[in-house]
A and B are shown apart, each in its own frame.
Chain A
Amino acid sequence: MKRSTHSGLVWSTLAVVCGAVPLAFLGLFFFYPVANIVASSLSQGWTGFLDIFNSSRTRDAIWFTTWQAVASTVVTVAIAMPCAALMARTSGNAGVWLKALVTVPFVLPTIVVGGAFKELFERLNESVGFPNLNHTAGAIIVAHAFFNFAVVARTVGAYWAGLDHQLEEQARTLGSSNFRVFWRVTWPRLKPAVLAAASITFLFSFTSFGVVLVLGGLQQATIETEIFRHAVMRGDLATSASLSVIQIAAVLCLVAVTSHLERRTSVSTQMMRSTIAPMGTTTTTTIAVFSLIFLGSPVAVMIERSLKVADSYGLKNYAALFEKIPQLPTTAAAALGNSMIYALIATAIALCLGVVCAITIVARRDTMGRFFDLAATLPLGVSAVTVGFGILISLNRSPVDWRTSWWIVPIAHAIVAVPFVVRSIVPMLRQIDPAIREAASLLGSSPLQIRRQIDLPLVARGITVAAGFAFAISLGEFGATSFLPRRADTLTGPQAVFRLLSTPGDLLRGQAMALSVVLAGAVAAAVICSELLSSDKKRRRGVNVPVGS
């Protein structure tokens, strides 16, 4: 008995230390800077905080931000669910390619995607009389669905593959139709994953900046663009800080709602080996073709433009990426190299932080769990301007004068990626039947052994998905990076694209397109590598993990 008390103490100490690391990290690089900028801006005048509610523009912005985020989430879930179903059933090379394809949008520069969608809307308008969505809320919603497609398809797809499919089998044997089986048997059990993916999509859309500015018109101001307008264009930090407070309050509400729903809906399964019912060829083809057209069209436009050289086609724009041109402080290829290094570092950090947060959220169903949940979600819900300016005024004195350190950029990327990592893993962890852990514990396994030998292999799919997201987020990150002071030679890929597009001229535009294509290729390659690595590992460990993501 004594031994067990002793080891219990060791384990709880270890747990506290493990839990303290992500909290300290997020505290130093996120919460302290954000709290600091908000507090110091508001201390200049509290009256401003109340004034903003009297402004009809602010009220309009809050209303628009909320409804477009809800609409974006509903649309994203609706159009990505069929693909999630397909991903749950697709293994082997086809599955890997599908995963790579859906992840690509993350790294595509908004301005490039915006141009592609604008062209698409105009063509649809001319050919079939579809209303031209350009500069409307509709364009924003479609773009959000494009960027978040992977969040739903991959998170839900991976979870779906891990469900116990025997229930469906039994329902079908009893004569239920496919739709009935899905609606009555599958959907209720999918809810935790859908909820997790939906909450990420909501937050992404809630704080979306580039998409709103590029695709929206003037009516479409969001809280995020209002923060930018007040802080940067007007130099009115008090108002922007007040808006940040509103943004944070909204995220708090969201976390409260989702964690409540998650707890209610979470279903653990038997983790038995069962095969998911295959889809009909027609359905499979329809879903694959739709996903390919929806996600592939902007990419195709980009590839076409990148290959266009004068009046014919060629690889000149790609070769030019290795040449130094005046508009960029380094070559585009070097910028891409920076991005790859940052993405590796950011992924490593985000995975470490995210896994610990996810384990704590699932293990502790009390205030502590909720606190971790909130801490790991907020980074996606706070404006990049607020975080950037916060770091500028907070990490500014010895021994933490890190404002201009190169590694602050990958750290900022990691913080943005943590919510994605956590939301990819939490549903998976909740899926594990506590009975398995209890059994292992009874058989004498230590908590660490349980984590390593039961939890880890079972959430491996979630971790692979999370790693892909973290890598893609870092590779495509633009907002937070641009609000941090950076040395010229630390230019990232997306920033190089933006700079190439800010001087007129076909050559520069061609190079920007080529660089965007390479970014897309890089993330696709990263996803493929991580998939192959993890499936290889699974095979050698002999763990029975169902097919799919």
Chain B
Amino acid sequence: MSRTNVLLGSICVAMLIIAACGANNATQKEADKVTLTLVTHDSFAISDGVFESFHAQTGITVEVLTSGDVGSLVAQTILSAKNPVGDVVYGVDNTFMQRLLDSSAVEPYETPALADVPDRFELDATHRLTPIDYGDVCVNYWKDALNGAAPTSLMDLVSNEYKSSLVVQNPETSSPGMAFLLATIAGTPDWENFWEQLRANDVTVTNGWEAAYYGDFIAGGGSRPLVVSYASSPVAELIYADPPVDEPPTGVLLDSCFRQVEFAGVLAGTAHQAEARLLIDFLLSDTFQNDIPMNMFMYPTSNTAELPPEFVQHSQITDSPLSLPPAEIEANRQEWTERWVEIVLG
């Protein structure tokens, strides 16, 4: 009995302390200027000190709120349109952006920082979404596991040489899976026929990236040498290799790359519109842009940003990636994925 009481007592005390700390923080925050909330997806990562430098410049504190993957982020942003959980949304990509633009969740802001961003990234003429970073979804290959040469084109994947070699993700449940389906739509003469041939060539489909990369692909003990992943995956394989290596164990099939651009926008209904706009400017500043590659394994959109040496030496990124207009993606997503299911499963 007494032990239970002691336990209960200590829990109560602990809760009181937690509550007291919370109250203390709140008073401190009121003393500062404004706290902005940046709403983003779970893959968001940035170095310590980056938002502190924003605070030093502007007096604005940034809090990061993450909510699931990009699809979940978009759905949640639309659901809470006009009464947003934060002030700025970041991480919406070109495969989902039209859905957000069709809602009233983000408001226009044309940042002067766009002057340093190449026009090809500006996919929203209404300037509600500002391009911050980009990357490609591409077929990766495990160098040592290939019997012959690495594939050089999408059409190589249906040749006999790469029979039973490729793992892809289900476009209905996975963002990279969707991007690869879009790559085949943009990059092959007849995508339906391409997938029929891919199926005949014994392609494996998983529901998510993790199950593909760490399940069927060689990296996680699987047997397949080809997998749909990112253009930057070889750099991550190099940086997080154990034991350290000089060259990444994987390479990228540049002909298969679908361009993903990630955007940020001011959430309509924010109480701090002026400050939110400053944050958009900051996301395109060199301080933030230079920090993107090593944390998120994406590439900065600003011309003035510099890539870290690992990326300069080892990353392969194509100048002519595959892409499709966001509006076309949104309009056809359902039809394309349903047709894909019929072909791959039917």
Contact = CB atoms under 8 A, between A and B. Distances in A.
A505 B232 CA distance: 12
A262 B14 CA distance: 40
B65 interface: yes
B173 A233 contact: yes
Contacts of A404: 37, 65, 85
Main secondary structure, interface of A, reads helix
A326 interface: yes
Q: Name which of A214, A235, A309 has the most chain B CB atoms within 10 A of its CB.
A: A235
Interface string A308-323: 0111000000000000
A508 B333 CA distance: 33
B164 to A, nearest CB: 14
A5 B108 CA distance: 69
Contacts of B45: 326-329
A499 B68 contact: no
A218 interface: yes
* Interface range on chain A (Cβ under 8 Å from partner): 35 or more
Contact of B239 (A111, A234, A505): A505
Contact of B207 (A118, A216, A327, A403): A216
A16 B221 CA distance: 58
Interface residues of B, number: 68
B210 A214 contact: yes
Contacts of B74: 235
Contact of B172 (A229, A324, A392, A485): A229
A537 B1 contact: yes
A503 interface: yes
B239 A495 contact: no
A501 interface: yes
B77 to A, nearest CB: 10
Interface stretch (B110-118, B121-129, B211-219, B314-322): B211-219
B341 A218 contact: yes
B69 A232 contact: yes
B192 to A, nearest CB: 17
A392 B69 CA distance: 16
Contact of A348 (B4, B11, B173, B229): B11
B332 to A, nearest CB: 12
Nearest to A501: B210
Given A213-B173, A503-B240, A115 B76 contact: no
A217 interface: yes
B48 A397 contact: no
Given A311-B243, A504-B237, A537-B3, A483 B172 contact: no
Interface string B169-201: 010110000100000000000000000000000
A408 to B, nearest CB: 12
Contacts of B206: 135
B253 interface: no
Interface in A464-496: 482-488, 495
A214 B79 contact: no
Contacts of A228: 173
Interface string B222-261: 0000000100010011011111000000100000000000
Contacts of A501: 210, 214
Given A311-B243, A396-B83, A344 B207 contact: no
B240 A232 contact: no
Contact of A485 (B1, B66, B99, B242): B66
A17 to B, nearest CB: 20
Contacts of B71: 232-233, 235
B304 interface: no
B39 interface: yes
Contact of B65 (A219, A310, A487, A508): A487
A231 interface: yes
Contacts of A505: 236-237, 239-242
A74 interface: no
Contacts of B44: 488
A389 B99 contact: no
A505 B76 CA distance: 31
Nearest to A508: B240
Contacts of B99: 235
B159 interface: no
A290 B63 CA distance: 49
A337 to B, nearest CB: 12
A73 to B, nearest CB: 23
A114 interface: yes
A346 to B, nearest CB: 12
B42 interface: yes
A132 B124 CA distance: 48
B237 A219 contact: no
B65 A115 contact: no
Interface string B48-68: 100000000000000111111
Contacts of A506: 240-242
Contacts of B294: 326
Interface in A323-360: 324, 326-329, 344-345, 348
Contact of A235 (B78, B214, B240): B78
Contacts of A508: 236, 240
A502 interface: yes
A503 B334 CA distance: 28
B47 interface: yes
A237 B103 CA distance: 14
A234 B205 CA distance: 20
Nearest to A507: B240
B297 interface: yes
B229 A389 contact: no
A240 B80 CA distance: 17
A487 B205 CA distance: 34
B69 A504 contact: no
B42 A482 contact: yes
Interface in B326-346: 333-334, 341, 344-345
Interface string A140-184: 000000000000000000000000000000000000000000000
Nearest to A505: B240
Given A214-B210, A218-B341, A326 B43 contact: no
A333 to B, nearest CB: 16
Q: Name which of B3, B48, B173, B341 has the most chain A CB atoms within 10 A of its CB.
A: B173
Contacts of A484: 67
Contact of B205 (A111, A217, A486, A509): A217
Contacts of B79: 237, 389, 392-393
A111 B240 contact: no
23 contacts: A114-B211, A119-B221, A213-B207, A214-B208, A214-B215, A218-B345, A229-B173, A232-B69, A232-B71, A233-B172, A235-B71, A326-B45, A327-B295, A392-B79, A403-B80, A486-B67, A498-B210, A502-B43, A504-B229, A505-B237, A505-B241, A508-B236, A508-B240
Q: Which 5 A-B pairs have the closest CB atoms?
A: A505-B240, A310-B243, A485-B67, A232-B71, A507-B240
Given A218-B207, A326-B294, A505-B239, 14 more contacts: A115-B214, A214-B207, A214-B208, A219-B345, A235-B71, A326-B47, A389-B76, A483-B72, A498-B42, A502-B209, A504-B236, A505-B237, A506-B240, A537-B3
Interface of A: 57, 111, 114-115, 118-119, 135, 212-214, 216-219, 225, 228-229, 231-235, 237, 309-311, 324, 326-329, 344-345, 348, 389, 392-393, 396-397, 403-404, 482-488, 495, 498-499, 501-510, 533, 536-537, 540-541
